[in-house]
Amino acid sequence: MPEFERAIAVSDLAPGQGREVLVGTRPVAIFNVGGVFYAISNTCLHRGGPLGQGFLEGQAVSCPWHNWTWDVTTGENVVNSELKIACYETRIEDGQVLVRAS
């Protein structure tokens, strides 16, 4: 089973914000939703836009390229729940957000 890897310091990501990170070699978008951290694929299914650069409203992030919107807690597309991007398990340890990007 893949191990958790350090992604970002908790203090580097304020509530309501997102950021692009590499977890190992995998591009991941991490979001702080009211103090709870979620990690999803950084790549939008539409045209490959960088979701970590998108606008987070509540628990939905809009891709900055074409506004496709994804629920960061489930990876589901807000309009069509049959479309889904990868979600990764997170945990907090010693002030760091750790991600298991399997």
Strand 18-23 to 5-9 pairing? unpaired
CA distance 17 to 57: 9
What pLDDT score does 1 carry? Answer: 58
Q: pTM for the whole thing?
A: 0.94
Tokens found for residue 32: 């702080």
Instruction: Give residue limits of the domains in the chain.
Output: 5-100
- Please, what are the averages of pLDDT over each run of 10 residues along the chain (102 residues)? 90 97 95 98 94 97 96 97 96 97 79
Strand partners, 77: 70
Q: Give domain 5-100's CATH number out of 1.10.510.10, 2.60.40.10, 3.40.50.2300, 2.102.10.10.
A: 2.102.10.10
